[in-house]
Structure 1
Amino acid sequence: MTHVKIVEVGPRDGLQNEKQTVPLAVKIELIQRLAASGLLNIEAGAFVSPKWVPQMADSAEVLQALQLDGTVNYPVLVPNDKGLDAALAAGVREIAVFGAASEAFSQKNINASIAESLQRFELVMKRAVAANIRVRGYVSCVVGCPYEGAIAPRKVAEVASALYDMGCYEISLGDTIGVGTPDKVTAMLDAVSEQVPVAKLAGHFHDTYGMAIANIHTALQAGVRTFDSSVSGLGGCPYAKGASGNVATEDVVYLLHGLGYHTGVDMGRLVAASHYIAAALGRAPGSRLAHAWQG
């Protein structure tokens, strides 16, 4: 049975845009529930400026409560040298750097051009490698941008290739505003896989137009075997009006199990985690499966 790796991004990408403060204890409980469901890769936080992302200000405290040398991997987002300092002090084993295939989005998101962002990441990469820290690369806006519109597949390939060449072990391709359709995803993956081995690629799909599951199925057919998802569909893009959250982990696991893939995830425990965080945020779960699941 073929294994598909899931990178759970709910505790970081999912919660970072919540306007209400999510208590530290809730974050820790959520992560522990996700780990208990069988998820082995869980983004636990981000060492970014608390001025811009206040929800992630307690990332060091979150990590202190986790077993960082166990079987579960808890990567964190690191934008620059200062963030890397904090991540190293917290004892992380893996970090992620976040770039974009859109010049306008890069400027809005991290106040730097694509070229400038890659220069920053090279410095972070060298230090991380020296410290034996794995680095994962994100490329956002791989299909469309809220400012530029459609993004050329060759541009995505250029950025993905640059991140891979500098040493990122895996490149996550993000449809940040969820405008992708299977044909567009296929064209993008065709271009990227000419420069980066498909085994080193991951899909990160938002569900703004209800296309995330279809796009994941398309990526599976193209050979992608790693996908990012967010429990209960948490998250969204603050720079894209109306952009709903990441695809829900429960819905992705249901698709994968239905197709005969192995994930190692216990659906009952995953659904319980979805209901837990939804209740903590004062709303219903954001996945179809959490409402339909009978256990």
Structure 2
Amino acid sequence: MKLEEIIRKVKVAHPEISENEFLEMIEERKKSLGNYFTDEAVAKILASELGVEIPKMIEGKFEISIRNIVSGLNDVTVSGRITSIYPVQTFKRGFEKRGKLARLVLADETGEINVVLWDDNASLIEQGVLKRGQRIRISHGYARESFRGGIELHVGENGEIEILEEGYLKIGELRAGDGPVNVIGRVASKKPLIRKVRTSRGEEVSLVSFEIEDETGRAWVSIWRELAEKILKESLENGMIIKLKDFYVKRGFNEGLEIFSRKGSSFEIIPAEKPS
């Protein structure tokens, strides 16, 4: 669907938002998402957040379900959600050149498939552009039988990847070593723990810690440095919904998980609903 049609649907559902305001919202969101999102993709994300349903339309492309992908298919277009991502590997190509490959698992309502990304597309994992939980569309892929058995979808030089939706993982879906990932949860601590910590370099930095929960579990969140100073200004309270973007996961105390910030991490707080 073209950008103009998305704007028209948003204006019908939300007449209080002007076209210029929506375009400004797109530009602001693109700054936080990076340059891998088209205006149309960002507009769809914003429309979805505003409760506006955008029909799925793929111009000039025939999209296939994962269960229908067989070895030998070329120019495959498929969409789904990333459920697993594996580290980038490098290899020698000829005497001087080096190549890259990375793997992820893509799932839709019909099944899942291993996807192999080559070179520039593999760099999207290395750069943290592709994350677990995102819904993406792959175009111009080709399916081959893996030497381990089963079918793999390869995304080579002519392959394209479009990020359709920034997904948020449930706490129960997190694994130690994940990151960057997006997580959403409800603040479960009455008050955050606030302290100053001295790093191995001798720097004194701020650290804010609190628990979040959802229907799948609980986890501690640690927010560091400037981001900690920023969240302190938000008057974090029990029951607030918080969206954590580009955070990382490690094993914490008592074998639980700890979600922690790094440079590039951000958050959004949604105030708790007050009883009427």
Q: Same fold (TM over 0.5)?
A: no
Output the TM-score relative to the length of structure 1: 0.28
Higher relative contact order (CA 8 A, sep 6+): 1
Higher relative helix content: 1
Output the TM-score relative to the length of structure 2: 0.30
